Structure 1
Amino acid sequence: MHDPTPDTSLGSFATVLAGELPGTWTSTYHPDRSGLDVVTDAVWDMNEVAEALAKHPVDHCAVLQRSDGTRLFVAEQPGHAEGYLIAALAPADAPAEAFRGVREPDGIAIDADPFSAAEHLTFDLLPRYYVAAHQVFKNTEHLTREAPTEERLVMTWSDGALVVDEPDRADITRVLTDHGFVHDTARSVLVLPGDDTARQAASVRATGERLSALGIDTVLRHPQTRPALGTTPVAPPSPSVVSPYRGR
């Protein structure tokens, strides 16, 4: 039988509440303001709890965490009111854009009874949280699929010269021609001659820096060698050499 006068101190309340919720939960008590801003900034609420935090910053709180990563914020009601405010904390690993258009699973005010509080959370706040969190995770997956792939420009050595397939983008072509690459229309490539190796190296460095500013990696590559018919290659092709001028 439950104790009719449960311990109403915040830490004890949160510990008992964690044991009453479905699943495996842990309770962490934060006794002072050290690091509390990180916690309160994650409170996923635009209603009663958010308003209370804006008017009455908390100086201690508790955080409940379920084994699946679900987190709940627990704080005393402001002023002389009895009971607690409980709100979900937003998923920590989701980008801000994933929350766009998702309704916050606003928190609740409950009495200082962890057993009745567990019922309110189980049938009210947590279902709303799981709906909102599911939408955030779906949005995150969508954003990940839409993320642009890294662009790369390959310069291939050929008899001392560097050869680049003619780019589709005019701005990339302009960077190459600005630094000494010339069109070979017969092969649809651009070529950087190797007559002056010092000048060639300087051109490669300058080209890499400008392409990096455009978000494009530059790769220097040796051509693949093909064995003569009926023979076995003695050694594998030389590995690619990645330029230090990488996109940021």
Structure 2
Amino acid sequence: MPTTPPAQIILSTSRAHGLVAIPYGEEHRRAVRALGEAGFRRIPSGAFATPLTDGPTARQTARALVHCAHEHGATITTSPRPYLADFGDDLVARLPGAWSAQLELYYNPLVQQDLIAPLWDSGDLLQALLHDAVPGAVVLKNGVGTELLLIERPGHSSGYLLGAFATEEFDDNWEAPNAPRSIVLPAEPGLAAHAVTTTFLPAYSRALHHRRLDTVLTALERIRAEHETLQAIKESGRYSDGVPLADARMVPEMEATFADYAWLSFRDVLEHAPVLLSRCRPAMTPWAQDAAALDRLRTALAESQAVRAEDKELRGVLFSVDGWKQARSRFGLAALPAIETWLAESEAFERQVRAAVPGGPVALAAPTPRLLTARPALPAVPRSSAAHR
């Protein structure tokens, strides 16, 4: 991050508030004191402002600010852009749907680091938060789970950067391969809204679709590997390395261990699969026969909801490691028929979800960076029986 003055006052103009000042820097409290002594008042966003309606009074306040800033060792910077909150309001007013805009100010440069973990971006916005000073941002929300981040474009006198936060189900966003790229927005709100609506939001929807698909497929692959190993051991009476089982009574314990492991992964299926299934239209694809398989998958999800609800309820009251392991084993055993259904029908699921990519024709979705979703769509043929390992 570039070196910034320890105490800085960033000025911009607002149609509602007049002259707006944002204190910034590691010693931003000095800037706050200077603003207070000069006659600025804190506004709800956390910035400071003084009206510009009375010319003589405004000039007097400006002179006082220069003097007070000098007294407190604060540097004054004038922004060529309008007040960021005003641009955010103008932008959301032109977006389709019910969007809100909330300004956030980061007086201390270290605070912006808190944005990096939830940010889901592979473009300039992430780089700006990592390497540039970002005194403030606007968070845009549509009320149904989409949250965007808007900042002034560093190193430029105009323009903005806009990217996305990950949805709340995801918490591992660093260098996520399917992350959408943030875009540069022009200074004119109408043109900016057009870019968000026609370019960024469709790309974001496709990226989220692929990420959900990757998450479900990864979970099923983890379960499948352990399930096939367990089945091979039960059928052969030997461990995967060929050593005979010492006692057949160990099988129930192995099944409980598998159920614990499987439930941890099946949670991802329960979380992300419903929205993907809701987009599938088998009759509009070359694989209309997948409709029956999708119905079985939906039924399996529905039959697992009671177990999922109990799991969520216990997360707030069950704290011991052993208690959690026993509970997860019980959940996994209860959901085992549903898990086996998903293992059996995963090819139809993947094929149909690929065809249902948002904004695209009813055809195969473009490959995503990860191996699981980069493979071609699978033909509608029965899965062969699992081999022993």
Q: Aligned letter for 2:190?
A: F
In 1, Cα distance between equivalents of 2:118 and 2:214: 18
| SS of residue matched to 1:21 | coil
1:66 has 2:138 as partner: no
1:119 and 1:6, CA in 2 relative to 1: closer, same or farther beyond 3 A? farther
In 1, Cα distance between equivalents of 2:125 and 2:112: 15
Q: Aligned letter for 2:151?
A: A
In 2, Cα distance between equivalents of 1:15 and 1:72: 13
Native 8 Å contact 1:94 1:140 kept in 2: no
Task: Please list, as runs of the form range in 1=range in 2, the aligned pairs for 1:58-207 lying within 5 A after superposition.
Answer: 58-79=134-155, 81-94=157-170, 96=172, 101-102=177-178, 104-148=179-223, 168=237, 170=239, 190=249
In 2, Cα distance between equivalents of 1:36 and 1:82: 21
Native 8 Å contact 2:118 2:171 kept in 1: no
Q: Which has the higher helix share?
A: 2
Q: Aligned letter for 1:16?
A: D
In 1, Cα distance between equivalents of 2:207 and 2:214: 11
Count of equivalent residues: 177
In 2, Cα distance between equivalents of 1:36 and 1:84: 17
Native 8 Å contact 2:113 2:130 kept in 1: no
Q: Which runs of 5+ in 2 are unaligned?
A: 1-12, 16-81, 228-233, 261-321, 329-389
In 1, Cα distance between equivalents of 2:146 and 2:324: 41
Deviation per residue, 1:8-63 (Å, 9 max, x gap) = 21112112211211112121211225864332333333333233333213121111
In 1, Cα distance between equivalents of 2:130 and 2:176: 22
Q: Aligned letter for 1:11?
A: A
Q: Which has the higher strand share?
A: 1
| SS of residue matched to 2:121 | coil
RMSD over aligned Cα, in angstroms?
A: 4.3
Q: Which runs of 5+ in 1 are unaligned?
A: 152-164, 178-182, 184-188, 192-207, 218-242
In 1, Cα distance between equivalents of 2:145 and 2:151: 19
1:9 and 1:169, CA in 2 relative to 1: closer, same or farther beyond 3 A? farther
The percent identity for this pair of structures is 27
* Deviation of the 1:101 alpha carbon: 4.4
In 2, Cα distance between equivalents of 1:19 and 1:169: 66
1:41 has 2:117 as partner: yes
Q: Aligned letter for 2:167?
A: P
Partner of 1:18: 92
| SS of residue matched to 1:148 | helix
* Deviation of the 1:81 alpha carbon: 1.6
Partner of 1:55: 131
Deviation per residue, 1:108-157 (Å, 9 max, x gap) = 22233222210111111111111111111112222343453999xxxxxx
* Deviation of the 1:215 alpha carbon: 7.3
Native 8 Å contact 1:13 1:114 kept in 2: yes
In 1, Cα distance between equivalents of 2:97 and 2:112: 26
In 1, Cα distance between equivalents of 2:186 and 2:195: 10
In 1, Cα distance between equivalents of 2:323 and 2:167: 36
1:77 and 1:90, CA in 2 relative to 1: closer, same or farther beyond 3 A? same
* Deviation of the 1:64 alpha carbon: 0.4
1:13 and 1:61, CA in 2 relative to 1: closer, same or farther beyond 3 A? same
Native 8 Å contact 1:94 1:137 kept in 2: no
1:216 and 1:138, CA in 2 relative to 1: closer, same or farther beyond 3 A? closer
